[in-house]
Every structure is written in C-alpha cells, then in structure tokens.
Structure 1
Amino acid sequence: MLYDVIVVGSGISGLYAALYAKRAGLHVALICKSNPLRSNSAVASGGINAVLKTTADDTCDHHIQDTLEGADKLARPSAVSAMVKGAEEIIDELIAMGVAFDCRDNGEVAQRPFGGTSAKRTCYIADKTGSALTQTLFTQCRKEGVEIFPNYVMLGIATFNEKLSGITILRRKDSHVIAFACKSLVLAGGGFAGIYRGHSTNSQESSGDMLAIALRAKMRLANMEFVQFHPTTLLNSGALISEAARGEGAYIVDENGERFTDELQTRDKLSRDIVLHQLAGHTVYLDFRHLGEELINKKLPSARKHALNGAGIDILTELLPITPSAHYTMGGIWSRNDTSTDIDNLFVCGECAYSGVHGANRLGGNSLLEAAYFGRVAGIEAARAAKKGEFHPIDYALVDKESRYVEMILEGESRFNINTMRRNLGNNLYKNAGVFRNHDSLANALEYIHYLMKMSSGLCCVNKERSDNVELISIIEFRNSLTVAEAMVMSALAREESRGVHYRDDFPEKDEKNYQVDTIIRRLAGTFLRISFEGHLSSDWWHRIRQFFHTR
C-alpha cells in the first residue's frame, strides 16, 4: 500500500493531521490500534483553553505567562506563544465543523476556570469535551476522504539508506505483518501513563508504543521523567473525575469535612498536597453537595455517572473518595516547533510528542489545545514534505524480522501471566516513581524493570488463534511499556532536583544552574541508553541552516 502521508493515531492530534494532509490534495491513511473513537482524547473531559474576543479580563499574554509558570521554566516560549495565539482560530474552526460548545445566554462561548489559570478561558461541552471534539473530527475525516484503518498496530519505522520509506504494521484480523509505504509520516499515537496499571486514568493501550518505536529507530526522547498525576480520580479504580468538577466549584475535603488545600492550584502541587494528607492518615474526598442538582446535571453529568457506576456514590448527597493517579505524560519524542524530528519527513504531535509547551507540568485545558494546534501543523508540514518527497524502497528484511517476532510470541510456550506482570509493573512504578520519588526508590524501580525485561522473553500466547488475538497485542504493548519505563526512570534518576511533577525527596529544591534544560535520552548500540541535558536551541541550528538553503 502506498500513501503520500500516513498518520498513526486517532486522537485529536492525529485526526487534525490527517484532515489537513488530505486537504492538501494528497492520498492519506489514518492507522488506529483499535476503535478510532477510544483514544485518550475521547475521554478528556474538562475543556480546551483559548483566549477569545469575548473572553473577559484575559489576554494571550496572560495565557502564555500562565503556561510558562505552570511549566516551571522548562517550556519552549516560542512554541507556547504560537499555540496560544492560534487558539481562537482553532475554536472557530471547530465550531464551523459542528462542535457545539456550551454557550452563555447571549450566545457567546462559555468558559470556566481551570487550575493554574488567571482567568476563565477553558471552553467546554459539559464535561465531555474530548469526546465531542474527537467525534466531530473523525466524521470530518471520513467526509473528506481520509482512508481509515482500525485495528492495525504499528510495529516499526521502515527506512532505506537512512531515509523514511514507510512503516511495518500488524493486521489484527489475521496477525499478519504488512508494510505501508509513504513519503511522510506523522506519529500521533498517545502517551504512556497507562504503564502505571491499576493507578492510571488511561487504558492499558496507553503503553507508549510510539515512543518505544522511536527509541528503537535512534530518535531522541525528551523529558521522560515528567509524568503528571491527576489529583482527582476514583479511589478504587483510578477513573478520572475531570478538573471541570473543581472548575465548577467542587471542594476537596477530608473525613472531617475540612478543606485543606487550594482546589485550583496546579495539578502537581495539588497531587502532592493530597498524598501528604493521605500519608498523615486522612481520607480525601470531592464534595459536590453544595453545587445542587441542576448545576451537576447540566455541567457535570459524566462526573455523576462515573461516581455512581465506579464507586456506587451519588455525589448529590455523598462525599466521593479520591486519590491521584497517573494521567498525562509531558515527555515524548523530541520535536521542533514545526513538529519535525530526527528523521526527515517524520513528524510527531499530541501526547507522544515533546512539543515544548508543557515543560515540567501541563495546565489543564492545554492538552486539547496542543493536540489540535500541533496536529494541524503536523498535517500541513507532512503534506508539504510529501509534495517535495518521493517513495523509497521498503526493506522487506525488516518485515520478515517483525513477522518472526510475532510468530515467536504466537507459537512459543508461555511461562508467565501477562496480566500479573502488567499489574506488578504498575504497582512498582506507582510506589517508586510516583508523586514522590528519590534515588533509592527509582533505583528499585529500575532494577524491577530490568528483571521484568528478562522475564518478558517467556511471555507467549496461550491462545494460538490468529484472528483478533488480544493476548498477542498485550504482550507487544507490555514489551514496549518496559522500554518506555526504563527510559522514564533513567531520566528521573539523572534529574537530581525537584521541578514540576518530578518531585524528589532527596533533592527537594530546583537547581536552575544545572537542570533548567531538557533531559534527552538516546538509544546507542544494542539496548544501551544515554542521558544528556540540552537547551532548547542547541540541537536546532543545523536543521535551520538546511531548511534555509532547501527553500531558496
């Protein structure tokens, strides 16, 4: 199969990229691991940030400043500025596609406050914003002729003489490995918070596949240590209760009914306050009771449904027990402001990318904006590259290698239980690389990851059927999870300071002299990883020079 542009991932960023590549008149394929409407974007509830002409007492400069402060001095100012200034156009475009944002009585788009913001700038559709945006963009992609391939799992990046030639894919319906050729590629396959199995708002599919694939392709990953924990998730399941709840006025209280923290501070600080209160022997709750049934049913219907289904709690009359869970990953595949990467004609966007806008801590409402804005940029840039580019041969030795890898998992004798290993990894990471960490806990986490890596060679399918083999996909995801977990923990060990969501008990202060730079991790020979620290501009000058002469 030959395509001008291939996009991997069906969240908001991938859908936007596919849509804009298609609008350039190109042959575009969208690859989805499972159901296209089951991405993390679809469960993002709270809203999307934007300064609109109708926004009261707010400016783009305020939005930029809030984002930079929330990022704890690690954001890339040029990327933040571009995203913020493009936000209103994104909202207008979504409305034109049919997104029905909640509005005030005068017809203007309604906006609510979110943590770490100095104004009400979060546009929303009740508490199901991500789902509404995803469905609208998916419908638009189908309408405009993007070819969509659900239930195809990306395995690797194919290159020929160090030039992009395509991707290798596992077709789930028959477990057959195939190759798609392309002139340009967009990776938009989501983050890796799902590796905290049992302690995450993400599904197990958020296993960091794109990052593991990129690392194997010798691409750089950046700031992997920064994993954001959402402060308000159901105590027993990790199911998300959106920041929309606190934006609409829900309180965080303990068993005595006392409010002990600022509900609208940034997520890193709020999560630490909650965990410390729990360690002191308290139980922590969300209190909706004072909001009233009318407001809850109108603006927080999903929160009420999740509480009833997930905890048996009616938030109209009862307190809802909560705890922080791994939610979003700021680190990812290193990219420039134009979403380009270490491989020519390969672009990244969304949570799998390090775009530079979140730094050490993401503000709520900025992730959907980042996904839409940089997804659009990626689609435009990928189309531009494809028009100038050409197809390169697929090395079918790579396809054969991936086929043998899949055959080994399918045909081998299984010695361990995949679900037990996933849960054990999640428990270990939550304990040792969670809201609080230190050298000893991180070293313990790394030792356990290496142990699981050795054991994972004994993971094979008990079920040998080739049609839609869920076990096969789980094993592939788990091995990718271990690769990503190793990179994350090594990065956390290297950053000997506390910044944003990365809080080390043994280094509780920021070190501006040594660590106000990005953590970069590369794969060298074999499985050896190398950590370095780089400023935002240090790796970009040669690319700029090449671009200058290429466009002349």
Structure 2
Amino acid sequence: MLYDVVVVGSGISGLYAALYARRAGLNVALICKSNPLRTNSAVASGGINAVLKTTRHDSIRDHVADTIKGSDKLARLSAVSAMVTGAEEIIYELQEMGVQFDRDNEGNIAQRPFGGTKAKRTCYIADKTGASITQTLLVQCRREGVSILQNHVMLGIATYKEKFSGITLLRRRDSQVIAFACKSLVLAGGGYAGIYRGHSTNSQESSGDILAIALRAKMRLANMEFVQFHPTTLIGSGTLISEAARGEGAYIVDEREERFTDELQTRDKLSRDIVKHQLEGHRVYLDFRHLGEELIDKKLPSARKHALNGAGIDILTELLPITPSAHYTMGGIWSRNDTSTDIPNLFVCGECAYSGVHGANRLGGNSLLEAAYFGRLAGLEAAKAAKKGEYHPIDYALVDKESRYVESILEGENRFNINTMRRNLGNNLYTNAGVFRTHDSLASALEYVHYLMKMSSGLCCINKERSDNVELLSIIEFRNSLTVAEAMIMSALAREESRGSHYRNDFPQCDDKQYEANTIIRRLAGTFLRITFEGHLSSDWWHRIREFFHAK
C-alpha cells in the first residue's frame, strides 16, 4: 500500500496529525491497534489546560512558569512557550469542531484548578474530557477522508539504503505481515505506563510498542526513568479517579478521616505522601461526601460510576479507598521542537514522544494540550516533508524477517503462561522501580527483566488460529514491554539523584550540577544500550548546521 503520510496511533495526537496532514491535500492512513475509543486519550478525564481571554487571575507567563517549575528544571522553555501560547487556539478550534466544553454562569468556557497551580486553567467536559475530544476528532477525520485502518499493529520501520521508506505491520484479521510505503511517518502510539501491569491506569494494550520499535531502529529515547504515578486510583483495578475530583474539592484522608497532605500539589509529591502514609500502616481514601449530590452528578459523574462499578461504593455516603498507580510517562522518542527525529521524514507526537514540555514531571491538564498542539504540528510537518519527498523501495528482506518472527510465535511450542509473566513484571516494577527507588531495588528489577527476556523465547501461541489471535498480540506486546522496561530501569540507575517523578531513597537530593540534563539512551551493536546525559542544545546542534547548509 502507498500513502503520502502514515500516522501510527489513534489517540488525540494521532488523530490531530492525521487530520492536518489530510487537510494539506495528501493521502493519509491512520493505523490503529484496535478501537480508537480504547486509547488512553479516550479515558483521560480531567481536562485540557489553556489561558483564555476570559480567564481571570492567570496569564500565559504563569502557565509557562508553572510548567517549568513542575518539570523540575528539565522542560525545554522554547517548546513550553510555543505550546502554552497556542493553547487558546486549540481550545476554540476544538469547540468549532463540536467539542461541548462545560460553561460557567456567564456562558464562558468553565475552568477548574489542577495540581501544581492554584489558577483555574483547566477546560473540561464534566470528567470525560478526553473521550469527548477523541470522539470529535475521530468523526472529523472520517468526514475529511482519512483512511482509518483498525486492527493493524506496527512491527518495524523500513529503510532502503539508509533512507526511510515505510513500515511493517501485523494485520490482525489473518496474522499476515504487510508493508506500507509512505513519504513521511508520524509515530503517536502512546506511552509505556502499561508495563506496570496490575498497577497502572493504562489499557492492557499500552505496552510501549512504538518506543521498543524506535530503540531497535537506533533512535534515541530520552528521560525514560520518569514515570508519573497518579495518586488516586482504585485499589486492585487501577481505575483512574480523575484529578478533577480534587480540583472540585474532594479530600484525601486516612482511616481516621484526617487530611494529611495538600490535595493540589504536583502528582509526584502527592503520590509519595500517600505511599509513605501507607507504609506507616494507614489506609488512604478520597472523601467526596461534603461535595453534595448535585455537584457530583454534574461535574464528577464518571467518578461516581467508577466507584460503584469498580468498588461497590457510593461516594455520596462512603469513603473511597485509593492508591497510586503508574499513569503517564514523561520519557519517549527524542524529538525537536518541530516534532522531527533522528530519522528524516519521521515525526513523533503525544505520549510516545519526548517533546520537552514535561521534563521530570507533568502537570495535570498539560498532556491533552501537548497531544493536540504537537499532534497538529506533526501533521503539518509530515505533510510538508511528504510534498518534498519521494517514495523509496521497501526492503522485503525486512518483511520476510518479521514474517518469520510471527510464524515462530504462532507455530512454536508454548512453555510458559503469558498472563502470569505480565503480572509478575508489573508487580516487580511497582515494588522495585515504583514511587520510591534505590540502586539495589532497581538492580533487582533489571535482573528480573533479563530473566524474563530469556524466558520469553518460550512464549508461543497455544491457539494456532490466525484470525484475530489475541495470544499472538500479547506475546509481541510483552516482548516489547521487556525492551522498554530495560531502558527505563537502566536510565533510572544512571540518574543518581531525585528529581520530579524519579525518587531515589539512596540519593534523595536534586543534583543540578551533574543531572540537570536529559537522560539519552541508544542501542548500539546487538542489544548493547548506551546512556549519556545531554542538554537541550547539544543534541540539536549538528542538525541545525546541516539544515542551514541544506537551505543554502
């Protein structure tokens, strides 16, 4: 198949990228692993940050300052400024497409406070913001002629004579490996918090596939150690109770019904306060009871539904038990401010990208803004590159290699239980590479990941059917998860300090002299990984020189 632009990932960033590439008059394919409404974007509930003309007691300067402060000095100021400045346009564009933001008493778009700031900056649709935006963008993409290909799983990046030429995919309906040639590619396949299976708010399909593929293609990954834990999720299921609950005034209390922390501090600090309180022998709850039924049903209906369905608790009259779970990943595929990467004509956006706006810790409400802003930018840049570019041949030796890989999983003899291994990985990561970390705990986690890597060769399909084989996808995802977990743990071991969401009990202080820089991890020969620390400018310098002489 031939396309001008291929976009992999159907969350808000991927939908926006596909939409804007299509609006440039190009033939665009959007690749979805499953149903677009099952992405993490679709379950993001709290809201999207923006300083609007009608916003009182807030400014773009304040939004930039809050974001930089929350990032613990690792955000890229130029990227943050661009995103924050473009936020108002994004909100009104979404509104024109049909997103029905909640309104205040004066008829303006309503805004609520989120953690890391006292300003009312977060626009919302009750507590289902992500789902509303995702549905609207999906309808818009269909309306404007984007080819949406569901149930296709990306396997690899194809090159010909060191030039980008396309991608290989697994077509789930018949387990065939196919190739799509394209002039430019946008990767928007989400983050990797799902590797914390059993301790994550992410869907089961969130396995870091895109990052594993990028690492195998020798692209740089940045800041993989920074995993954000959402402080308020249901115990046992990881179901997210949105930050909107605390923004609307819900309390965090213990079994004595005493508040012990600031509910609107940044997520990393709040998660640590909760886990520390739990380690001291306390139970932790969200208390909605003082908010009243009218407010809850108007602004927090999903929270009430999740509590009833997931825990059998009516938040109108009962305390809701909660615990932190892995939620969002600040690390990702290294990119420049224009979303370009180490491979020409390949762009990244959304949670799989390191865009430079979150640094060591993300503020609530900034992820949907990042997805929309950089998704739109990636679509524009990919379209521009496609118009200048040309098709290159697909090396079918790569297709054959991927086909043999899939066949080995389908036809081999299974020796282990994939579900047990995924749960064990999640439990181990949560215990040893979770909210609190040490050298010894991280070394233990890495040793266990290497053990699972050896064992994973014995994972094969019990069910040999080729039509929508769930086992096949699970095994591919699990092996990708192990690759990502190794990169994450090695990055965490290298950063011997505490910063943002990365907290080392053995190095509890922030060390700006050595570590006010990005952790960069590359794959060299074979499976060897190399870690360096690089500032924002040093990584980009040679690219700027090449671009200057190319323009000349």
- TM-score, with length taken from structure 2: 1.00
Match of 1:547 in 2: 547
Structure 2 stretches lacking a partner, 5+ long: none
Distance 2:235 2:242 in 1: 14
Amino acid at match of 1:484: V
SS at match of 1:344: coil
Superposed CA offset, 1:113-156 (max 9, x none): 00001310000000000000000000000000000000000000
SS at match of 1:140: helix
Match of 2:384 in 1: 384
SS at match of 1:166: strand
Count of aligned pairs: 552
Distance 1:331 1:11 in 2: 17
Distance 2:549 2:128 in 1: 46
Superposed CA offset, 1:16-45 (max 9, x none): 000000000000000000011111000000
Match of 1:336 in 2: 336
Match of 1:473 in 2: 473
Amino acid at match of 1:491: S
Distance 2:549 2:91 in 1: 35
Match of 1:246 in 2: 246
Match of 1:509 in 2: 509
Match of 1:106 in 2: 106
SS at match of 2:120: coil
Distance 2:371 2:124 in 1: 15
Match of 1:299 in 2: 299
Within 5 Å, give how 1:277-292 maps onto structure 2.
277-292=277-292
Amino acid at match of 1:79: A
Match of 2:229 in 1: 229
Superposed CA offset, 1:490-510 (max 9, x none): 000000000000000000000
Amino acid at match of 2:342: D
Match of 1:449 in 2: 449
Match of 1:81 in 2: 81
Match of 2:220 in 1: 220
Within 5 Å, give how 1:489-504 maps onto structure 2.
489-504=489-504
Verify the 8 A CA contact 2:114 2:247 in the aligned structure 1. yes
Superposed CA offset, 1:132-186 (max 9, x none): 0000000000000000000000000000111110000000000000000000000
Amino acid at match of 1:143: R
Distance 1:161 1:241 in 2: 49
Match of 1:187 in 2: 187
1:264 maps to 2:245:
no
Distance 1:311 1:13 in 2: 32
Match of 1:94 in 2: 94
Distance 2:492 2:239 in 1: 26
Verify the 8 A CA contact 1:62 1:118 in the aligned structure 2. no
Amino acid at match of 1:380: L
Distance 2:292 2:452 in 1: 49
SS at match of 1:510: coil
Match of 1:487 in 2: 487
Give the superposition deviation at 1:105. 2.0
Q: CA RMSD in A?
A: 0.5
Verify the 8 A CA contact 2:38 2:203 in the aligned structure 1. no
Verify the 8 A CA contact 2:12 2:372 in the aligned structure 1. yes
Distance 1:369 1:192 in 2: 19
Amino acid at match of 1:149: L
Distance 1:159 1:464 in 2: 31
Give the superposition deviation at 1:546. 2.3
Distance 1:282 1:171 in 2: 49
Distance 1:43 1:551 in 2: 43
SS at match of 2:393: coil
Distance 1:54 1:453 in 2: 54
Give the superposition deviation at 1:48. 0.1
Distance 1:551 1:97 in 2: 37
SS at match of 2:116: coil
Match of 2:51 in 1: 51
Amino acid at match of 1:343: I
Give the superposition deviation at 1:106. 1.7
Distance 1:35 1:151 in 2: 8
Verify the 8 A CA contact 1:8 1:32 in the aligned structure 2. yes
Distance 1:549 1:383 in 2: 22
Distance 2:76 2:375 in 1: 17
SS at match of 1:428: helix
1:402 maps to 2:402:
yes
Verify the 8 A CA contact 2:262 2:270 in the aligned structure 1. yes
Distance 2:139 2:81 in 1: 30
Match of 2:21 in 1: 21
Verify the 8 A CA contact 1:66 1:118 in the aligned structure 2. no
Match of 1:149 in 2: 149
Match of 1:319 in 2: 319
Verify the 8 A CA contact 2:349 2:374 in the aligned structure 1. yes
Within 5 Å, give how 1:343-358 maps onto structure 2.
343-358=343-358
Distance 1:172 1:46 in 2: 33
Verify the 8 A CA contact 2:127 2:299 in the aligned structure 1. yes
Amino acid at match of 2:401: K
Match of 1:371 in 2: 371
Distance 1:112 1:545 in 2: 44
Amino acid at match of 1:126: A
Match of 1:199 in 2: 199
Structure 1 stretches lacking a partner, 5+ long: none
Give the superposition deviation at 1:291. 0.1
Give the superposition deviation at 1:541. 1.5
Identify which range, 308-317 or 100-109, moves more after superposition.
100-109
Amino acid at match of 1:210: I
Amino acid at match of 1:173: R
Give the superposition deviation at 1:551. 3.5
Distance 1:226 1:359 in 2: 8
Distance 2:109 2:233 in 1: 28
Amino acid at match of 2:537: L
Match of 2:132 in 1: 132
Give the superposition deviation at 1:301. 0.2
Give the superposition deviation at 1:463. 0.3
Give the superposition deviation at 1:356. 0.3
Verify the 8 A CA contact 1:236 1:311 in the aligned structure 2. no
Distance 1:283 1:541 in 2: 51
Verify the 8 A CA contact 1:70 1:363 in the aligned structure 2. yes
SS at match of 2:328: strand
Match of 2:69 in 1: 69
Distance 2:198 2:216 in 1: 27
Match of 1:532 in 2: 532
SS at match of 1:159: strand
Superposed CA offset, 1:72-95 (max 9, x none): 000000000000000000001000
Amino acid at match of 1:434: G
Distance 2:476 2:357 in 1: 30
Superposed CA offset, 1:291-315 (max 9, x none): 0000000000000000000000000
Match of 2:3 in 1: 3
1:161 maps to 2:161:
yes
Verify the 8 A CA contact 2:15 2:137 in the aligned structure 1. yes
Verify the 8 A CA contact 1:254 1:284 in the aligned structure 2. yes
Match of 1:412 in 2: 412
Distance 1:88 1:548 in 2: 32
Distance 2:49 2:494 in 1: 33
Distance 1:345 1:117 in 2: 37
Give the superposition deviation at 1:381. 0.3
Distance 1:236 1:30 in 2: 34
Give the superposition deviation at 1:543. 1.3
